[in-house]
């Protein structure tokens, strides 16, 4: 079987490619150049050095290797959306968009053009009976980021690491003498190497001549003005550090009002709890029935027990059994039935009153 493997330059995709080659498949390595990062940074991926690492692994295991320049598509689909979503007072999820709009669409089309039977990635996820499912290693599971992948794409996808734990992957890399065996994992956004999200938004919108909201007030629960901010793009729900106010005790962002340019903070962590949420842009593996589900509202977040209600159009609503902390509009709400992903959508608002 011919398999095109997306090789980021990290250990996971390297092991995925090497295991498939070891199993006797006709493997082709493919690296996506997504941005203009000239170097790799600790905890990031997809810089020029990563392309060289991926090429070295491909050479070591004896497979052909290609680089696809997807910078324009990545900028349009991911970076523009990231900046505009933050500027609107919401919290984007660029990894969901990258998977849903690039890796499993554009890259799959390249795989088909190369005559490949399957596309493979180093994601920690599984496909069970044609449905996306969580990985065996719950600590590394990435199914949350993959809910937008179309069923037709899943039918042509394999996740070689889905049943492995991270230490097993590292062990395979060492056994196979791969040069990236000890390379640190990528944990931060590849296109924000300094981890300054607000600075990226400001620069990116200036480069694209898009508007950025101006300064506004930071207020407490009772409306008292506590300070000023330079723009709502620097904040997200649940944020604790970098608030720009000193209250003598911990404080968190409870809400963001982009129209009034207000950031509402609270010193009472119980006020961060939401009773439910509404979401749009729903993507379902198959039309679900209203009823009991589990919901994840952030990567590595706990799965919350909830009741699902379908709303007209592409929207849904869930009511949590117990309050869930820091539900952020713009993030993904992903629905599970056991280990299987039912689908998900983009959070439009957190509900503090289920009758609202």
Cross-strand bridge partners of residue 284: 343
The number of C-alpha atoms within 13 Å of 250 and in the hemisphere containing its C-beta is 9
Under 8 Å between Cβ of 89 and 256: yes
The tokens describing 8, both together, are: 């980021």
Order of strands, sheet of 65-69, starting from the edge strand that comes earlier in the sequence: 65-69, 26-33, 2-6, 118-120, 157-158
Query: How many other C-beta atoms lie within 10 A of the C-beta of residue 177?
Result: 10
CB 193 within 8 A of CB 44: yes
Nearest to 97 by CA among 151, 149, 44: 149
Q: Report the number of secondary-structure helices (H) and strands (E) in the chain.
A: 9, 17
Q: Of 45, 46, 95, 190, which is the active-site residue? A: 190
How far, in Å, CA of 30 to CA of 247, rounded?
51
Is residue 204 within a helix (H) or strand (E), and if so which, with residue range? helix 197-207
Q: Is 95 a catalytic residue?
A: no
C-alpha dihedral, 150 to 152 to 153 to 159, nearest 10°: 100
Q: Which residue in this structure is represented by tokens 């981890």?
A: 195
For the question of residue 46 being annotated catalytic, the response is no
| Long-range contacts at 44-52 (CB < 8 A, ≥ 24 apart) | 44/186, 44/188, 44/189, 44/190, 44/193, 45/8, 45/9, 45/10, 45/186, 45/190, 46/8, 46/9, 46/190, 47/9, 47/190, 49/9, 50/8, 50/9, 50/10, 51/9, 52/9
User: What is the set of active-site residues?
Assistant: 98, 190
């Amino acid at each position: 079987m011919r398999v095109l493997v997306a090789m980021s330059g990290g250990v996971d995709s390297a092991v995925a490619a090497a295991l498939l080659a070891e199993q006797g498949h006709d493997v082709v390595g493919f690296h996506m150049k997504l941005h203009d990062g000239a170097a790799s940074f600790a905890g990031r991926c997809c810089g020029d050095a990563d392309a060289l690492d991926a090429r070295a692994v491909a050479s070591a295991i004896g497979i052909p290797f290609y680089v696809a320049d997807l910078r324009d598509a990545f900028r349009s689909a991911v970076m523009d959306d990231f900046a505009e979503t933050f500027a609107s007072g919401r919290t984007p999820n660029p990894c969901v968009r990258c998977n849903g709009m690039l890796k499993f669409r554009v890259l799959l089309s390249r795989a088909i053009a190369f005559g490949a039977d399957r596309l493979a990635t180093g994601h920690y996820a599984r496909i069970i009976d044609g449905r996306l499912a969580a990985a065996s290693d719950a600590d590394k599971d990435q199914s949350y980021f993959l809910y937008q992948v179309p069923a037709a794409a899943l039918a042509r996808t394999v996740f070689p690491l889905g049943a492995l734990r991270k230490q097993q992957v590292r062990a395979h890399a060492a056994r196979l003498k791969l040069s990236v065996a000890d390379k640190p994992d990528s944990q931060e956004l590849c296109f924000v190497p300094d981890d300054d999200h607000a600075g990226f938004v400001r620069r990116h919108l200036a480069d694209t001549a898009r508007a950025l909201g101006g300064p506004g007030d930071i207020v407490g629960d009772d409306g008292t003005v506590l300070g000023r901010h330079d723009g709502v793009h620097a904040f997200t729900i649940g944020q604790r550090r970098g608030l720009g106010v000193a209250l003598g005790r911990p404080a968190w962002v409870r809400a963001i009002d982009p129209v009034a340019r207000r950031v509402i903070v609270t010193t009472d962590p119980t006020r961060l709890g939401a009773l439910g949420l509404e979401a749009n842009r729903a993507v379902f593996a198959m039309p679900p029935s209203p009823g009991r589900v589990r919901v994840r509202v952030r990567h590595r977040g706990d799965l919350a027990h909830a009741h699902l209600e379908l709303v007209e159009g592409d929207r849904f609503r869930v009511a949590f059994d117990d309050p869930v902390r820091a539900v952020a509009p713009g993030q993904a709400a992903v629905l599970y039935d056991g280990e299987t992903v039912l689908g998900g959508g983009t959070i439009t608002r957190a509900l503090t009153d289920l009758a609202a």
